[in-house]
Amino acid sequence: MPFGLTSLRQRLMVLLLLPVALLLLGLGAAGFFFARDRLLDQWRDSAILSLSRAAHAVDMRLEQPEDAVKLINRMAGLAPGSVQEWEELLARLPGVTRVKLILTDAGDPVLMPPNGGLTPGAGMGRGRAFSAGGPAAPGAAEGMGTMRFHRVEVAQVTSPRLDAAVGAETVTLIFDLSNEDKRPVARLEVVMRFAHLLEDLRALNWWQSDNVYLVENTGRVLARGAEAHPLGGRLGASGDAFQLKVLTEVLSKNSGTILGPGHPAREVAGFYHLSRAPWSLVMLARGDVVLAPVEQFLKAYVVAGLICVGLVLVLIFMVTGQVAGSVRQVCQAARQVAMGHYDDVPVPRRNDEFFRLAHSFNTMVAGLKEKDYIRDTFGRYVDPAVARRLMSRPDATLLGGEKRKVAIMMTDVRGFTALCDTLSPEETIGVINRYLSRFIEVIQRHEGIIVDFLGDAVLAFFDSLEQGEAEAVRQAVCCALELQAATAEFTQEAAAQGRPQLATGIGLNFGEVVVGNIGSPARTKYGIVGGPVNLTQRIQSQAEGGEIVVSQEIRDLLPGQIQVGRTFSVRPKGLDRDIELYLLTGSSSCGGLQAEPQAGPPVNS
């Protein structure tokens, strides 16, 4: 057996369970990688979308001062006398703590005073600053009329820093104001609370995570999660390789996602730049957290796969148990048959292959029983059809028998004893076997029942129970004539091949005998017993080689159907009277079979 698989159960476990396990493993692996990639793609899309919305929320708050400046400019314009009004209006904006507007002469650069956070002489020209709530300085921009700005743009957004006056972190937004000729005419400084810029982010659940950062373009961390206070430090300051990789991507791209090392990635990140400030929102996450649904599915799949494999194993054990039990019963029964004990196997109730196997095996056993019974009861030399016909009668299988009339035939090879003295044992057995094989074939063809072999002699009878006495005699006569012809043919072949030639004497008789099973329960033989059997042996002794001698009873049962060559009277041993015997030469009821012509005058029947 290949691979040492010696049982059906082992083969099923290897050839069925192994492919199932490999299929489940392959499907699980393919499903895991597919789901992992899809989940990572969804996380990327979700991260970018969430970060873009958060960045937009911060940008909207940064845009409020700029939108207010544009609105005031369209409504009233800017003049030296309106600086205080501008500052007061802008200071009312949510989250704004201070506003400072500095004008310059038309065509001159703006000069920011020291108290306004702008350094005089730093390439800004001359001018005067106006604080919210204070009067405008005279001569700051004399001769200037009401101006309309052509462009307002953010020049700078400072990093958050602690403002002692406010007691909180603030961010300063610096705007450059230009006229229609694109020449700067003023600079606006708006100080806003940093926490106000992050206020819209507080409503976002994911923003509460410790792994969400607001990062300056230098890598400095401005805020982390829900904390509004800058932490200082830089992203990747601890030397974390993945954070350094994220910082590199943040400094070179506007948005994106990054996968860390490992399969699946141990860390993932997403980032998005703000459009109104040099800041970026960065989200870091652990890979196992992002892929937790996939891992949970994988665990559930493994459990389900193990359950499936277990069920397949249970089914294999159940099926192979039933199969092995049925096969074991058949094997045991087969061993019993080999020992000569014909035991049936139980037929299963289920209508499947084993039902048909058990049924076929029992049919085979029944056939073997019948063949053995035929062999033991009727011998090997009874035609099977005749044997079955005999067995169909209830009394045929019982020890003992019944009296009835039958036709009896006995044959004997003349001079065979002397011939054996000239041949080796092998040659003797070879000659007699070839001779008897032809005799057996002819006798069975005429439905004769061979009772016994007596050396080179054969005793057979033809039963009259089914077809009547005349038919039994006719079969015996025809069989004797054909045996005579077969002997002549055998002799011619032997002469041509240089083998010994044989001559057979045949005797036919008809009488009442006991027909039945003779012997014991251990060994029986279907045969005949009675005086007519002994008389047939005496009649056969009167026949010379190549002759067929029949009794008066044979001739009387076939009037006008047989031809005889001569008639003679003998007193057989054991009888106190003479009997008439006839030399058979032919029969009109046997298809023209004729005996070899004999010396002496013919006697008409």
Give tens-digit pLDDT for 42-73.
878 888 888 898 899 989 988 899 888 888 88
pLDDT of residue 543: 92
- Angle 353-378/384-391 helices, nearest 10 degrees? 90
The listed range with the strongest mean pLDDT (256-270, 382-396, 502-516) is 502-516
* Minimum mean pLDDT range among 218-232, 247-261, 545-559, 570-584: 218-232
The tens digit of pLDDT for each residue in 246-304 reads 889 998 999 998 888 887 778 888 899 998 888 999 988 887 777 777 677 777 878 88
Write the single-letter amino acid at 406.
V
pTM of the model: 0.46
With a pLDDT cut of 70, the percent of the chain lying above it is 80
Q: What share of the chain is helix, strand, coil (3-state, %, to 5)?
A: 45, 25, 30
Angle of helix 353-378 relative to helix 292-338, nearest 10 degrees?
10
Give CA–CA dist 49/58, Å, rounded: 14
Domains of the chain: 1-118+147-290 (no CATH), 304-372 (no CATH), 379-587 (3.30.70.1230)
185-202 burial by CB neighbour count: b if 16+ within 10 A, else e? bbbbbbbbbbbbbbebbe
Amino acid code (one letter) for 424? S
Exposure on the CB side of residue 328, measured as CA atoms within 13 A:
8
Say if residues 235 and 247 touch (Cβ distance below 8 Å).
yes
Q: pLDDT tens digit string along 183-239?
A: 888 889 999 998 888 888 877 777 767 688 888 888 888 888 755 545 567 888 888
More confident residue, 498 or 186: 186
Determine contact, residues 264/9, Cβ cutoff 8 Å: no
- Rounded to the nearest 5°, which phi and psi values hold at 327? -65, -40
- Helices 18-75 and 83-91, axial angle in degrees (round to 10): 150
Q: Which two tokens stand for residue 518?
A: 């003779």
Rounded distance, CA 169 to CA 194, Å? 6
Per-residue model confidence as pLDDT tens digits over 358-368: 778 788 888 77
Contact 549, 557 (CB under 8 A): no
DSSP for 382-426, please give it.
Answer: B-HHHHHHHHTSGGGGSBEEEEEEEEEEEEEEETHHHHHTTS-HH
